[in-house]
Structure 1
């Protein structure tokens, strides 16, 4: 699950919990206020009834009857005390009493049957602490704590499931779009996402359809560009062949005075022929041409043979090519394509490494089924923001690397496509000590 999923999940989950708590809080406040009003009304009626009863008892029964009535527990069961005070200011039950006591209310004076005047008071005992709103929320479950916690757990679980599903529903198509964009950027131009959106009819589905439309247009443009390159390369082959024949015939008919010019024409024709050949190879690889992979080669032996040839050429420029950490691994490959890819990369490293330095080639184990080949030079390197463009055809990245290189900008592009053809990966990185490293990861036979 990505970060967006958890953000959506947590926000919806917290929102649901806050809504639930807010609703419970409001309900508890409403119940509390309703209870206060109801209790106040009920208490007022209760007091009036009891005071009237005491008045009647005192009037007809006297003090003894009033004492018997006051000692009844039901009379004080409503958090209320009743006092009957004689003419001396004493409570008939002998309880401590003061007229100045707070929360004391006098209702009326009554003359009993024996001629004594009594006064009737009411007083609330010590008030209980105010019941909090949280207690009001908990009140329906008082005495059933297990039910409360079970209800709370079910609410959390249900809200989690709802939010999880909602977050998944929103982020699933976004993940598919992200995956499709990644595949498209890796060269899978037939990648589409509209079918993956299911029956959605929202903005995300519209975005998926827009992506498909964009991908179709880009695929058409890129395909046309590749086809144009392939067609031009094919068309140039025939006139180039005729130019070679014409040059040979012209040499026979002319004297030595034009020999230098003829050599120059032949040299440029050879360069043009080489460029056309590279362009054709690149277009075939881009078009997915089927090259047979029926060779089982020892990668160490292949590198040793390539390095031997390249080192011989590099020695004339006071440069070296060294093979480090060599190990024998068997690869199932097209030996011609793989040979050309590795040779292109090593020759490119020789071209840019500084005079008097060396190009190092190392074979290391990546994992049980892959090896890594690292080819490093000691040249000027490549700007970090342009490393990803290093394998694009006809790309010139910096003056320091391109000045007098004599290349066409196709060698690394062909190498990259050859490595991908072998289910491998190729990346470029700058060395901390200076220079460029090309890392190649290839599958090997276990």
Structure 2
């Protein structure tokens, strides 16, 4: 049992014990007050009949006849009292003043049923006659031998002062049991969570809470499912890190090996061939520098530190500058770039990163499109959903359908272009992360007549206010 269990148990038990005692005391006080308010005079129809009979007996038979009537009624539940002007009982019994006062009050107020009578006897004295309420302590027959209770008639006995000890004890036991169950109900899944977090901290991310908490349907079960989602993402990230380290080491090993070979040749070659070797060393250095730059960009994106993402970007001006540079390079290798731009809107984000993402896709299309063909760039605005659709289409070899879902993964190179590609398989992966950082998405599909189509969708802010920032070609 952990500390949380005892905290739950203690506070729940204290609350329930306090409530139990409070309710018990309130009921006790209420019962006392109700007992004090209850009539101590018998108001039943038999009592009314007995009073009328006694009144007739006293009027026509006198006090001796009434004594005989009272003696005959002693063994039974109804026991009649007759008090003279001095509140002395005809039979010499003690009577509570409170009982006398209540009898006089009923005599003055009760009109419908005469349960209290004042009758004048033949000897000139008047008698107040009434019957006390039965004492249930001894049952319907009253006390053994017809004797009344030892306390004075009309006064409540110890039973009316009874404190509800047994109900309170039962309620306390029930409260403790339910407090125990409730504390266990909350602390048990938290114990599973604690164990799962300890396992995760020790590197075991395979433990799942869904099987052990599937029977619950509360926030703790939701927390367990969220933990499973978290560990699944951590497993994916760790696996991608291991794969990234493996791929980076593989990509760096080749240019480093070529550099070492070139440096070795430079040491033994004559001066005429040295320039070719140095050119090879420079080319491999540039490749390594480009790879390191792409890895740094990827690292920033993976760490969610891409810089400011709040700058307004005039997307049509950016695309115009990009297409001018790409067209110049494409013309030099016998290829063309055709654009159909109509997107005078602004996109909120980082201009440098967004430029690099779109440029990666565009240069990739120029690289793989066939000689003499054209790379097309189209834009379309969705005014209702405030979305910009940018499409880049080439006439290259395309991508096998089974590889389509992998072209945006790290270090992936299609089997159709791997042999003649000088890239590292990072361009499209970086482009996807940059587009997603701008709340957009990117996807690719093969064209029906050959080639690849890459669609980029970005949310835009508003119409571009001006085009003064466009660089003239």
TM-score band, normalised by shorter chain: 0.3 to 0.5
**TM-score normalised according to structure 1 size:** 0.48
Structure number with bigger Rg: 2
